[in-house]
Structure 1
């Protein structure tokens, strides 16, 4: 039981009211997201669920911790709170004016202030904010989907909208909405999605206003303080205390930027653990890319980035159950200090550098932080994962109507100190692949296979999770698009675990026009009848695969997750018997494992990056930072 002092904010609010307020915040956030999912129109929002809601207080602090969200800072910067009125809805998607909360232009953000009248004669005042942002189909730009892989400036990526008042005291700004829909190739779905998000956030604002009316502003705000204080104290006591004081360095890489030839685009973290906080220094990160893989992370002292990276720290919790209980809200911000290199790097790009594929940086940073923590805690962190990439097709249907089908496909998560990685994980909570029944009824193609990509998970004592394998047969000529990294490099393994398989797209596999696609593709022609085979990344393995329980390997073979050939070459397990009842040969397995141990180098690095690293490093099998 904790002996930490109880924050005064908890004592002021009372434990029962505190529990009610905290539960109400979670309920309102969930209700807003449910309303958006039920009333939006685009597949990306309605079906794939690539959106998030968040609740913030009047001091712009994020109160809810189920997922990440954008920031209120740019809205409050351009519209002082005292100028806001009930019924107002604010909107923005401008990357460079978003204080780091918006990563690329298709992420549209809606913010609604919550009002409460204290009865002091001053009228209603802003006491909180409800916000939603999500990835929308199209906001203009050089290609369908507003993510041109060869963009060299943000002006090619679509319409930029700085913070504006989209609704004024309940009255929508029809002119602004018309400008936005006029710039979109999918105007009807864009208009419907925005209407769904505005209405849902207004509903959420009413729910929160009821909470303030019930308990009063002083009590509710005391609960807000208590919620954040609890997070700060919990992370300091349960998480930071597990990191030994000192400095640790690690780096990882994006592999291509869509413009220049593939190379290692470095993202480096020097983690310094101090008694009261951690310092994350990004010095050593590569210069900004010419292509669209840059991310504006340094605004507002890295406020967004702190909350984006903080979930990685939860892996240091004592148990998986405890990990799931830890929220990430503004309470983590005081525990993390960020130091950024000067302007002009992947994390500090200079306007108008393109940013539409910024996932290559912000997703990689999750892995870099996990890697540097693994060095600090003797590998007691999961191996790497790459659980988001956009793939899709666009063209015209039988009626001559243009369409865009794009989905977010996940990959396998990394093996963990206590368990295998999870299969086909999507990094956006509650997001998912598009249902086959829906896509086949709406778009001119057939989904001939959707399942696990065999052997994609990195071998290990605890195997990496598997990625997807999806086969799409086009019924009409179309164009394929992809925004994906890890097509050369792989998700790294740790502490003896090996890297997973990289992302791969093959068009017309086994046919006369078979061709491999790069990770960044805008519009590769695909003829009617051709198949697009998509295999997403597998997570890295954790621990020595030759120490994996033999029966676990047999089970993986029986379930179709590991082939017999991989069981032999990666795990040293010799499998006999029929497909539906495989069994291992104990004597042959012992001999094979002994042979594999004798053949491998004695001085292996702590991290395994897979064979793709040598392709981009000039032949080196690993980086200098890969050893403890």
Structure 2
């Protein structure tokens, strides 16, 4: 009988994952911001009444999912149980209680079966504008970076908080877009709630306790089995980011034990005066993800798995405290998996992929008509990806967002959002590091304002001075370049001006190679040249 019970539990677990996947797809279909509906920069999950994540949607990013898993506890601390009611939805974009910066809006909704609280649904989405300086690294504190919504009720027993809506509208550049995204997030949780009640009614469940115990027990046992098979000890790694004015040193010491993993970031550069700092929750999110990619890629992500990875750090750029500016926390945070993987390669030689572009090359453009002309004002956000590092036995993936997993926004969708023309978007030849396996290629992107317009450009770029490193004899990938079509070099971070008639050209970094280049076969090299990936063979 125990076998039949286990099968039933596994079926219900799969059903629960399908519930949160439909929850996420609702957000994807209804969002107003292109960062959500086109790039999938979101997360969705279901939690038990104790605030422990039972299941996450596959659609979404590790940074959002794993920080959201911690954020629900903050919501429960801020809103007592006796103030939670059916029809409620709670909201925040507090970087230290949510998912790391003001542009991420997190909503949590209690799920009631009758009068009994059976769980919570949570979702997060990156919105295009939250006011302030706009999306960029130039703020000197979080107070400059936009409007901060503390944990509060967005919907109270089915009634929308109109005062919050009015405040939002008065503080952002595109109020309809932001308010639309708020309603989209709330709808996302409502769909999850309805599907959960349908599931519980169909199966005859009155609580998720037994299913939750099954999920956590199976997850913990599977993860501990993987841990016991690993070598034990401590291994360290360092990685250098471009930073803003000065390079940033990232350090991690990874300790593997039978009962968990400890990652210590002592030695990392101090808190920056620019908006590239990372709240510790976001560092934890990507440190855990980097470890999971190697040790437990096939084990579903939930609280039981996340509890096995412990991250500590003194106050520094990977553990920035309020009110540090954190708008671009992803630029540094997306390098954390490569930082952790670099330590793991010393424990598991020959099994770890090379470094890749890491950070998204996303940028915000603020368009306006030139003086004396009529035209459109628009805020346009684009997400783009460089190349992944080569893997043992496989070439790196080109123009692929690792570790975030977000999609590149289609050119057609981008051009609909503002007076922008994308003249070129193609793979960048020779950008992948040579090796037995070649690093993935970056992209070349060429952008101009439509006739009669100019724009300011907020750069959020990295790997322009410090290339993704090859592994096990593989060569480094190419660094990225940001410039105008007249040759003017642009800074990798900060707001800059692109005059009318000038084109912005971005050459994204490629991934590092893996293994001795001498071991790459003549057939593979011929295919590289035929496809245009390589124009000149390595010497």
Regarding TM over 0.5, the answer is yes
Query: 3-state DSSP class of the match of 2:423?
Result: strand
> Is this contact kept in 2: 1:81–1:126, CA < 8 A?
no
* Residue 509 (structure 2) pairs with residue 537 (structure 1): yes
Partner of 1:483: 460
> Is this contact kept in 2: 1:230–1:331, CA < 8 A?
no
Query: 3-state DSSP class of the match of 1:72?
Result: helix
Give deviations 1:599-623, integer Å, cap 9, x for gaps. xxxxxxxxxxxxxxxxxxxxxxxxx
> Is this contact kept in 2: 1:45–1:51, CA < 8 A?
yes
Partner of 2:472: 495
Q: What's the offset of the Cα at 1:399?
A: 5.0
Partner of 1:310: 288
Q: What's the offset of the Cα at 1:339?
A: 2.7
Rounded to whole Å, the distance in 2 between the matches of 1:387 and 1:346 is 16
> Within 5 Å, which residues of 2 pair with 1:97-108?
98=97, 101-108=98-105
Partner of 1:205: 193
> Is this contact kept in 2: 1:293–1:358, CA < 8 A?
yes
5+ long unaligned stretches in structure 2: none
Partner of 1:412: 387
Decide which moves more: 282-291 or 423-432. Answer: 423-432
* Residue 338 (structure 2) pairs with residue 340 (structure 1): no
> Within 5 Å, which residues of 2 pair with 1:440-479?
440-475=415-450, 476-479=453-456
Q: What's the offset of the Cα at 1:231?
A: 1.8
Larger Cα Rg: Structure 1 or Structure 2? 1
Q: What's the offset of the Cα at 1:420?
A: 0.9
Rounded to whole Å, the distance in 2 between the matches of 1:535 and 1:11 is 57
> Within 5 Å, which residues of 2 pair with 1:567-578?
567-569=537-539
Partner of 1:38: 29
Partner of 1:588: none
Q: What's the offset of the Cα at 1:153?
A: 0.7
Query: 3-state DSSP class of the match of 1:176?
Result: helix
Could you state the TM-score of these two structures normalised by the residue count of structure 1? 0.79
Partner of 1:359: 330
Could you state the TM-score of these two structures normalised by the residue count of structure 2? 0.92
Partner of 2:128: 137
* Residue 507 (structure 2) pairs with residue 519 (structure 1): no
Q: What's the offset of the Cα at 1:35?
A: 1.4
> Within 5 Å, which residues of 2 pair with 1:43-82?
43-65=34-56, 66=58, 67-68=61-62, 69=65, 70=68, 71-82=71-82
Rounded to whole Å, the distance in 2 between the matches of 1:326 and 1:423 is 26
Rounded to whole Å, the distance in 1 between the matches of 2:41 and 2:265 is 28
Alpha-carbon distance change, 204 to 429 in structure 1, aligned in 2, over 3 angstroms: farther
Rounded to whole Å, the distance in 2 between the matches of 1:105 and 1:79 is 20
> Within 5 Å, which residues of 2 pair with 1:117-128?
117=114, 124-128=115-119
Question: Which one of the candidate residues 15, 19, 38 is aligned to 1:24?
Answer: 15
Rounded to whole Å, the distance in 1 between the matches of 2:302 and 2:403 is 16
> Within 5 Å, which residues of 2 pair with 1:182-331?
182-215=170-203, 217=205, 220-238=208-226, 240-257=227-244, 261-263=245-247, 265-297=248-280, 305-316=283-294, 325-331=298-304
Question: Which one of the candidate residues 553, 569, 574 is aligned to 2:525?
Answer: 553
> Is this contact kept in 2: 1:481–1:521, CA < 8 A?
yes
> Is this contact kept in 1: 2:20–2:44, CA < 8 A?
yes
Alpha-carbon distance change, 281 to 133 in structure 1, aligned in 2, over 3 angstroms: same
Give deviations 1:223-248, integer Å, cap 9, x for gaps. 1221222222222213x234311111
Rounded to whole Å, the distance in 2 between the matches of 1:165 and 1:219 is 25
Q: What's the offset of the Cα at 1:307?
A: 4.5
Rounded to whole Å, the distance in 1 between the matches of 2:405 and 2:311 is 29
Q: What's the offset of the Cα at 1:216?
A: 5.0
Greater RCO between the two (CA within 8 Å, min separation 6)? Answer: 2
Query: 3-state DSSP class of the match of 1:413?
Result: coil
> Is this contact kept in 2: 1:13–1:222, CA < 8 A?
no
Rounded to whole Å, the distance in 1 between the matches of 2:499 and 2:4 is 65
Rounded to whole Å, the distance in 2 between the matches of 1:252 and 1:37 is 34
> Within 5 Å, which residues of 2 pair with 1:371-386?
371-385=342-356, 386=358
Partner of 1:576: none
Q: What's the offset of the Cα at 1:285?
A: 1.8
* Residue 57 (structure 2) pairs with residue 84 (structure 1): no
Query: 3-state DSSP class of the match of 2:53?
Result: coil
Alpha-carbon distance change, 425 to 335 in structure 1, aligned in 2, over 3 angstroms: same
Alpha-carbon distance change, 241 to 455 in structure 1, aligned in 2, over 3 angstroms: farther
RMSD: 2.2
5+ long unaligned stretches in structure 1: 1-9, 118-123, 318-322, 570-628
Alpha-carbon distance change, 526 to 92 in structure 1, aligned in 2, over 3 angstroms: same
Q: What's the offset of the Cα at 1:309?
A: 2.6
Rounded to whole Å, the distance in 2 between the matches of 1:520 and 1:429 is 19
Give deviations 1:327-355, integer Å, cap 9, x for gaps. 222121332233322xx311222321111
Alpha-carbon distance change, 11 to 77 in structure 1, aligned in 2, over 3 angstroms: farther
* Residue 413 (structure 2) pairs with residue 438 (structure 1): yes
